[in-house]
Amino acid sequence: MAVVLTGLDLINEPCAAYAALYPQWVNFKAGGQIVEIEDKNGRRTKWSSANSGGFDDVMRDLQKRCNAKSGRRRRYAVAASSRT
């Protein structure tokens, strides 16, 4: 049985798409069922165990774009301490 998610806006709403896909991704990684999504443009994508790397790439990209959009810092600079 496949899980079908429709109406996701992967481009303009990466945080909402990531939140909707994350539970399915966890089940998928644990050996769950096939996941199929249809975005707002009507494009359908289906992932199965044969192409699991593609799903990982999409989730990584959504997380990266969500972090960039929400302003979360991914890298932290080392603060220089004053030596006296």
Instruction: Render pLDDT for 9-52 as a digit per residue (tens, 0 to 9).
Output: 777 888 888 898 898 888 888 887 788 888 777 888 888 877 77
Which tens digit of pLDDT belongs to each residue from 54-78? 888 989 998 999 988 887 666 666 6
In a domain, 19, yes or no: yes
In a domain, 78, yes or no: no
In a domain, 79, yes or no: no
In a domain, 34, yes or no: yes
- Which tokens in the block code for residue 68? 């960039």
CA distance linking residue 31 with residue 66, whole number of Å: 26
As for how many domains the chain has, the answer is: 1
Q: Residue 41: give the domain boundaries.
A: 3-70
